[in-house]
Structure 1
Amino acid sequence: MEPFKNLLNPALVAEAGARLRRHAPRFDAEAFTAQACAGLEALEMKARALQICAALEATLPADFDAAAGLLEQSLAPPTAPGEISAAPGLHEGLRGWILWPVGEYIARRGQRQPERAMAALHALTQRFTAEFAIRPFIVQHPALAFATLQRWVADPSEHVRRLVSEGSRPRLPWGQRLHALVADPSPSLPLLRTLQDDPSAYVRRSVANHLNDIAKDHPGLVAAWLEAHLPGAPAPRRALLRHASRTLVKQGHAPTLQAWGLAPGFDGQARLRVSPAHVVLGGAVTIRLTLQSKAPQPQTLVVDYAVHHVKADGSLSPKVFKGWKLVLAPGETATLEKQHALKPVTTRRYHAGRHGLAVQVNGQAVASAHFHLQLPGG
């Protein structure tokens, strides 16, 4: 598997320098490429982006307006709806991952001209994403940033409308933590209220993730949001709100469960079997769960499971995965089965040892088991 960091590579940097010089013949493409590529292949992804950004700072015009204009002229046409970047290569202009360091440059050098910088991010996000670059402006120029985002909720480009939600997420992965919005998310709520019925699924999914971020710090606010916006909601909004509720459902948050017509817990017996007892990384375990209802009425059940992964220090770290949703009639017994793959991924490092697996129904644990994971050759 090709390392993710190689999306920012010397060939792409050289191509970007040539593209910039095409629009500004006096741009020193050689100096830019030399500085950006010095030791680049030894760096991880974010460090590569920051080094390329530093090379831009050293070689673009000192006047930010002129530099932003050159960057805008060098952009490829906007990407199609639902895409972040299109085909590899910069033959049509700057696009895709090379725009991560460009966004970082705008965030660093544009703070003294925030309106001009926000205009540049409006263009950039239609070729990649400006969700990381916009966050320093939200922190340092909140009034201007939110006034701009309020205008952008009606922008013709779904990439720009998505940026309104994604860029202002309090806990965006890889992004700067927006501590003021973690403490008080109210400035973003009018934006989300409009965008939750956006015609683009790409935008609506961002809104769902934004609300899920808020739920981690303000569960009551999201439960109240469900109470206000779930009754009579059209199917796309219901799907959005269900995705936004996922953390609270997994936690067994009673008001959220009630909003979805789910009773807290499970009235019945649960039996869990995980096999095989020993598995080598790259294989899978089979989860077999039997639920027997003791309730006098039907039960609507959301069944998830948590794998408790062994960490390097021997402690366990749980990760919750989606399981099943079903309605269990009074006295009914249901057997549920699925495979859980244990394959190497870039976001998790596996360690050998005794892993736990716990099943939870409507957010409450009902059964647990374990299996031993072995590493290849171990």
Structure 2
Amino acid sequence: MGDDGYNFMKKLLKSESILMRRPEVFLESYIPPRILGRDRQLEELAFYLKYVTRGVQHPHIIIHGRPGVGKSVVVRYALKGVSEFLDREVSDTSYKYSYVLCRDHRSEGKILEKIIGDITGEEVSFVGHSISKHYKELKNAVEEFGGTVTIVLDEANLMTRPNDVLYNLSRFSVDRGGISIICITNSATFLDNLESSVLSSLSPARIVFPSYTSPELELILKDRAREGLYPDVLEDGVIQYCAAVGAHEDGDARRAIALLKLAVMIAEREKSDIVTVEHAKKALKELEKDVIGQTVIKLPPHEKIVLLSIASLSKVLSEVYGQKDVKVTTGQIYGMYQSICRSIGVSPLTLRRVGDFIRTLSELELIDTVKVHRGRYGLTRTVVLGGKPEYYIQTILEDQRFSFLTIDELHNMAANFRK
């Protein structure tokens, strides 16, 4: 890059924002200095967590509610507070917590590696070793630490084997120290899908987070604006508009905050010294443009292959039978999945693993699943795609790993499984 290009970029990169004072305030990972609209849930959580101040494990806890209702931020806020309290007030009690986002760490092995790493402060990997090796290392880590450890499993419904993970962790025992589990889930049926032996072993306390109301969202947005923006940069009505959008979408604070942040960015892009309601309306259009697409893009490779299989089958079957909301079976999906794997040079996984991926895609609301009894043929599961097949196919094929697949090739593969 020549001096002209360098100076041009330097001027842009070093320019001060006239609207946003602290961008980190609008990040999902941000823990605000105060929690608004969740006093009751925070008090319930603190009631259980107080056990660790006495050097003993707190009860296992299940926290559930819709996305964006404050579950994760309340838990992280509370655990941070407990840690700070113990550091200042109770010097003879050792305590740590491990925060595992199950969207990023889905398998039992990856979850355990993250926990061990959080306890020891070192990055660990036991690729190629058995799960028993992982639990042995976890036992060593907890006993060497010698204190109480809280394990947070956020988006727990996305774990590959939730029954195995929760059963093994809830029955985990050590000579020194101990662990407690907090599961956070968006799924209303998460507990219903756990085996009775797991529920019995967990015996969890339950905390339910209701949706935010519009007035509660206004308070949250005003607080974020006060922390993150310069004074007097919001036009009257911007906060109310963003709060109303969040309230309309099941009281989703995450959505409302993201909308306000994007409105500010659009105003800055247009070189405006104030954020207007019109900027917020433009921001909403941008947010609505490709939420599903971003979810698809972030899927791991094998889940993309399964979704591509479902979309390709749905497209062919709808063309053959002229039906909307075409139902495909797990058998058809697995056959198509194997064909795509062979075509792109990937080793296919087992039918059981593909079943896990189907469940995950359902949790992400990309597909709907229905169990169907077929008499002497037993129980099968049918799948309906949650959108237009062409959209999913196009989005996945933009991934370089799939770029040499063609629409015609997928059509021919799917045609073999149309019956």
What TM bracket, shorter-length normalisation? under 0.3
In the superposition, the TM-score normalised over structure 2's length comes to 0.25
Task: Name which structure has the greater RCO, CA cutoff 8 Å, separation 6+.
Answer: 2
In the superposition, the TM-score normalised over structure 1's length comes to 0.27
